[in-house]
Amino acid sequence: MKKDEELTPEEFHVLKEKGTEAAFSGEYLHTKKKGMYVCKVCGNELFSSEAKFDSGTGWPSFDDAANRENVILEEDDSFGMKRTEVKCARCHSHLGHVFDDGPASTGKRYCINSVCLDLQEQSTD
């Protein structure tokens, strides 16, 4: 588990202060590599690359969590908007938000900040 002082200022702002990275700036926005996206703070498995899709919104998007027990969904009424916040179930770090405008298979779009994730790449052998 990473300590707060081990996070970059941007990582701390997003993960601990519920900030947002700039749209179209994230490391994983256009990544096509296969693997598991895990929480930057605690390593909890969050999203499979198989669930990733290009939503055109500027943030990595997934149509489902790898294991729904690994994420917490909470109402978020900040900034005068009604949204659903996505948090890591293990360390309660802020990850992003989920919306009901995703692909037909689930109808969900988990819009997640790249700085909240680490990609554990799938072996190619």
Q: What is the rounded CA–CA span in Å between residue 29 and residue 12? A: 19
Q: What is the rounded CA–CA span in Å between residue 76 and residue 39? A: 20
From 39, 88, 111, 116, active-site residue: 111
Question: Which among 91, 52, 54, 48 has a CA at the least distance from the CA of 66?
Answer: 48
Q: What is the rounded CA–CA span in Å between residue 31 and residue 54? A: 10
Question: Hey, is 116 helix, strand or coil?
Answer: helix
Is 91 a catalytic site residue? no
Token pair, residue 38, equals: 């895990």
Catalytic residues: 111
